[in-house]
A and B are shown apart, each in its own frame.
Chain A
């Protein structure tokens, strides 16, 4: 039992060392996950405009601070997802070409919208 634990600990140490080496290597930036954080309050997105680099996959995390659900939607980003009140939703986005991409909340589109400025 203890030897097994020890083995696992050693293995874990190796893993950490390997990861550290990997991070020092030239491919480090590729593993860097890009996350865009948005919050929704009073049916408004904050920030309303986000700058992100082109040609890189990224994640959008939307925290809905309203008590009501909202459907996060965008035709140009090709996403649609309901985020219930007081929860957070995660979306994977493909690498984008430069441009302006509109997103909106389907249930309150008059106030809930914003843009990704990709360059």
Chain B
């Protein structure tokens, strides 16, 4: 039972952390709950579909269907996260300082909410389909202990949910004048990690084969399959044995988001501590 709980929890870590971060980022946007719940529910529905058609997906495009699918949704998530950060850099601060644009802020806020809801949906979809397949495996394998394994799986899911809550509660403790910067940085690192993972799937499909050598091996320091390793993998894109191409994708994503947010930012004045959060998302 404990083994099943750990397996399911490990799969739930990524989605759990991402949901927590998105909840913190959008903490003051009206109507954010519907968006996040919508993201989770569509992610779950998608996870069920992907699990049900896992065989078909796997055989598609000469056996590279799963890889192409994963690379595509990860690429989409990277774009959504980048777009969110760039949009917030342009409008978030401006609207925080110019209260006249409140109506605009709500519209813009819901647009960037949609982007984040897609990211939540993708995280739930990717990890969720693996949980569904794992639990399905337990269900069809005969024999004793099936029920206790299912209970373990449930426990793992609950642990994943608590991780979401802990992440959220931790992040909202950050003083208001710092939280914009912290969550923006977190989202940038999330995007970079996903870009690196996207490249890894393209390599697995035999599409991106250049610079495939291992850049370093830190498996002795932090195993990627351990729970702390999984957390670092999600938050900062940690990989114990990345390829040079993954490293390039990671650094390029960081650089692009960092530069673009600097370019679009209207005035580099610091955000007043009293600024109202609606626009800051």
Query: Looking at chain A, what size class is its interface with the partner chain?
Result: 20 to 34
Interface 9-mer from B104-112, B135-143, B161-169? B135-143
Q: Which residues of B contact A84 (CB under 8 A)?
A: 54-55, 58, 133
Closest A residue to B204 by beta carbon equals A79
With A89-B63, A94-B212 in contact, do A75 and B219 touch (Cβ < 8 Å)? yes
Is B240 located at the chain interface by the 8 A CB criterion?
yes
Cα A82 to Cα B54 with chains together (Å): 8
Taking the closest CB of chain A, its distance from the CB of B7, in whole angstroms, is 7
Q: Which residues of A contact B184 (CB under 8 A)?
A: none
Cα A106 to Cα B63 with chains together (Å): 20
Taking the closest CB of chain A, its distance from the CB of B73, in whole angstroms, is 15
What 1/0 mask marks residues of chain A from 74 to 105 whose CB sits below 8 Å from any chain B CB?
Answer: 01101111111101011110110000000000
Is B151 located at the chain interface by the 8 A CB criterion?
no
Is A47 located at the chain interface by the 8 A CB criterion?
no
Please state if A90 and B63 are interface contacts (CB–CB under 8 Å): yes
Which residues 192-244 of B have a CB within 8 angstroms of A? 200, 203-206, 209, 212-214, 217, 219, 223-225, 239-241, 243
Please state if B137 and A107 are interface contacts (CB–CB under 8 Å): yes
Please state if A78 and B206 are interface contacts (CB–CB under 8 Å): no
Is B35 located at the chain interface by the 8 A CB criterion?
no
Is B14 located at the chain interface by the 8 A CB criterion?
no
Please state if B140 and A71 are interface contacts (CB–CB under 8 Å): no
Cα A3 to Cα B252 with chains together (Å): 55
Q: Which residues of B contact A94 (CB under 8 A)?
A: 203, 209, 212-213, 243
Closest A residue to B3 by beta carbon equals A110
Q: Which residues of A contact B136 (CB under 8 A)?
A: 68-69
Q: Which residues of B contact A80 (CB under 8 A)?
A: 204
Taking the closest CB of chain B, its distance from the CB of A28, in whole angstroms, is 21
Taking the closest CB of chain A, its distance from the CB of B61, in whole angstroms, is 11
Q: Measuring CB to CB, which residues of chain A are less than 8 angstroms from any residue of chain B?
A: 57, 67-71, 73, 75-76, 78-85, 87, 89-92, 94-95, 106-107, 110
Q: Measuring CB to CB, which residues of chain B are less than 8 angstroms from any residue of chain A?
A: 3, 7, 54-55, 58-59, 62-64, 66-67, 129-130, 133-134, 136-138, 140-141, 200, 203-206, 209, 212-214, 217, 219, 223-225, 239-241, 243
Q: List 5 A-B contacts (CB under 8 A).
A: A75-B223, A82-B129, A82-B133, A92-B64, A94-B212
